[in-house]
């Protein structure tokens, strides 16, 4: 009876995970989705205390200590993390999930190795069964790669790592390292020693680092999504090894959703996954081409506010710079003033704007922007032709016309928001530098573009004051 209740509880937890993930598919129900997923995790953790394999005071104490440490750190960081640091936190926590899956695989493989001495068998797969041993090794490989790779992604997003290679011929070394890792995995599967297990996990962790280092900063949203998918797959494989249906279902769902999101993100950049992983797009010196012609034309924040006040239609395109300036609240105040004057205002979101999937949606939701004012690229791109003023605040690569008309540009072919087609364009930008990819933005030099230089929040505040004066 106890076994049935435990399995039923794990199944219920898995259902709650799915309901939560479904809720997080749209900003309208995202908060409820997070709550449902949290309830599912509570159910899974609580019922684990009654699992027959969890026995002895020491095990219970260790579990409670782990929950206290992990829960305390998560609570503290969630309370203090800035919106600009959210991508780093997502990458870091995602890496912890992969690391957990890798650690479980290591424990089970080491336990199987010890038990081989008592059974007289020579290979781990003979003791564990070929299917379980295969998934244990594969889950350990994927989880370890996701762990170390996510740590590199965190370091790059946080500005702690700027290198794009560790050794000469980095990609060739990566191929050799990958082959060595696979061979070590086969060695573990076919043998029963501790040394092969140690070599295997060392190579897997090292490959995760070498895999992530060459990837350019502009590809980080795709990479975060990919490592998230890998973590889900690793968790699903561990669920099979442990005989835990909650882990199987939740891991499979997260893995599938992560793979789909990775595909959509890569599609939004018009680049195949292998190009993301091996091209190093977004690295230093990646500008390409001869650069745009003409000069940037500057306008003051007050004049920009007047232009918006007398417009009939306005589309605002946010980017990572808005997050850095924490300007989303002032922008929303500006939008409300414009709406009171009868201006039709919308927000346009590019799929890879920011440093992670959905970054801009989170920022706008935090400021209280209604969801019906926020439009995806496919929904709003045609509207730019009839837009009086397009306002770009903190966005760069996702509005660069070079993606459409400069075949020498590294971002050529990437779908962008057609901001350049608006009658007037206002670009709010701190300085004259290039975007995260290092590519010069041709939009800044267009005849219909005016640059508003300065901190995003301060510029938005001056625009608000200008509109209020009218």
For the chain, give every domain's residue range: 86-279, 301-469
**CA distances, 419 to each of 2, 262, 343, 355 (Å):** 61, 25, 18, 20
Question: Can you give the pLDDT at residue 437?
Answer: 58
- Name the burial class of residue 325, with classes exposed (0-12), middle (13-18) and buried (19+) by CB atoms within 10 angstroms of its CB: buried
| pTM above threshold 0.85 | no
Question: Can you give the pLDDT at residue 284?
Answer: 45
Residue 155 φ then ψ, to 5°: -65, -40
CATH number of 301-469: 3.40.50.1220
User: Would you call 318 helix, strand, or coil by DSSP?
Assistant: strand
Question: Can you give the pLDDT at residue 225?
Answer: 84
- Cα distance between residue 447 and residue 240, in whole Å: 60
Question: Can you give the pLDDT at residue 450?
Answer: 94
> In 364-459, where do the E strands start and end?
374-376, 389-393, 424-429, 449-453
Residue 335: closest CA among 352, 321, 351, 348: 348
- The residues annotated with a catalytic role in the active site are 397
C-alpha dihedral over 54, 12, 357, 274, to 10 degrees?
Answer: 70
Instruction: Say which residue the tokens 């060595």 belong to.
Output: 180
Tens of pLDDT, residue by residue, the chain (470 residues): 787 888 889 889 888 988 988 887 777 788 888 899 999 989 988 998 888 878 778 888 999 999 999 889 888 888 888 777 778 888 888 899 999 999 999 998 998 888 876 676 778 888 888 999 999 999 999 999 999 999 998 888 877 887 777 778 888 888 999 999 999 999 999 987 889 999 999 999 999 999 888 876 667 778 888 888 999 999 999 888 888 888 888 889 889 888 888 888 787 777 777 776 766 555 444 455 555 667 889 999 999 999 999 999 999 999 888 888 889 999 999 999 999 999 999 999 998 887 777 788 888 888 889 988 999 998 999 999 999 999 999 888 889 998 888 888 877 888 899 999 999 999 999 877 666 556 788 899 999 999 999 999 999 999 999 999 88
- Do 189 and 133 touch, CB atoms closer than 8 A? yes
Question: Can you give the pLDDT at residue 280?
Answer: 54
- Cα distance between residue 321 and residue 393, in whole Å: 7
Q: Token pair for residue 196?
A: 């092969």
Beta sheet of 313-318, edge-to-edge order:
374-376, 344-349, 313-318, 389-393, 424-429, 449-453
- Name the burial class of residue 182, with classes exposed (0-12), middle (13-18) and buried (19+) by CB atoms within 10 angstroms of its CB: middle
């Amino acid at each position: 009876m106890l076994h049935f209740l435990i399995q039923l509880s794990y199944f219920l937890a898995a259902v709650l995970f799915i309901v939560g993930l479904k809720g997080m598919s749209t900003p309208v129900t995202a908060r409820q989705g997070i709550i449902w997923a949290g309830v599912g995790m509570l159910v899974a953790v609580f019922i684990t205390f009654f699992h027959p394999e969890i026995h002895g005071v020491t095990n219970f104490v260790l579990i409670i200590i782990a929950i206290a440490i992990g829960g305390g750190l998560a609570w503290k960081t969630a309370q203090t993390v800035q919106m600009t640091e959210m991508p780093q936190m997502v990458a870091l926590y995602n890496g912890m999930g992969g690391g957990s899956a890798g650690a479980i695989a290591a424990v089970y493989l080491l336990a199987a190795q010890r038990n081989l001495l008592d059974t007289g068998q020579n290979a781990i797969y003979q003791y564990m069964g070929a299917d379980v041993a295969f998934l244990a090794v594969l889950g350990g490989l994927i989880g370890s790669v996701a762990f170390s790779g996510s740590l590199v992604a965190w370091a790059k997003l946080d500005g702690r790592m700027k290198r794009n290679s560790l050794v000469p011929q980095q990609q060739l070394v990566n191929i050799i390292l990958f082959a060595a890792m696979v061979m070590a995995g086969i060695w573990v599967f076919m043998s029963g020693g501790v040394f092969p297990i140690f070599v295997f996990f060392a190579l897997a962790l090292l490959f995760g680092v070498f895999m992530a280092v060459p990837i350019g900063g502009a590809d980080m949203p795709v990479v975060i999504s990919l490592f998230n998918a890998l973590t889900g797959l690793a968790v699903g494989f561990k669920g099979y090894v442990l005989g835990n249906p909650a882990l199987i279902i939740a891991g499979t769902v997260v893995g599938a959703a992560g793979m789909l999101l990775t595909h959509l993100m890569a599609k939004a950049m018009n680049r195949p996954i292998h190009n993301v992983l091996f091209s190093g797009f977004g690295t230093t010196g990646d500008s390409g081409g001869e650069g745009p012609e003409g000069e940037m034309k500057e306008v003051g924040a007050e004049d920009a506010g007047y232009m918006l006040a007398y417009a009939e239609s306005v589309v605002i395109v946010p980017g990572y710079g808005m997050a850095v300036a924490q300007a989303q609240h002032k922008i929303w105040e500006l939008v409300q003033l414009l709406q009171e004057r009868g201006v039709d205002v919308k927000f346009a979101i590019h799929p890879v704007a920011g440093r992670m999937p959905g970054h801009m949606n989170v920022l706008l939701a935090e400021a209280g922007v209604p969801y019906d004012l926020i439009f995806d690229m496919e929904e709003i791109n045609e509207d730019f032709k009839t837009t009086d003023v397009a306002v770009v605040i903190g966005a760069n690569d996702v509005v660069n016309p070079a993606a459409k008309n400069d075949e020498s540009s590294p971002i050529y072919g990437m779908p962008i928001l057609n901001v350049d087609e608006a009658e007037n364009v206002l670009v709010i930008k701190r300085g004259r530098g290039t975007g995260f990819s290092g590519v010069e933005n041709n939009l800044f030099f267009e005849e219909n573009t005016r640059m508003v230089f300065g901190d995003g929040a301060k510029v938005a505040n001056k625009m608000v004051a200008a509109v209020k004066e009218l």
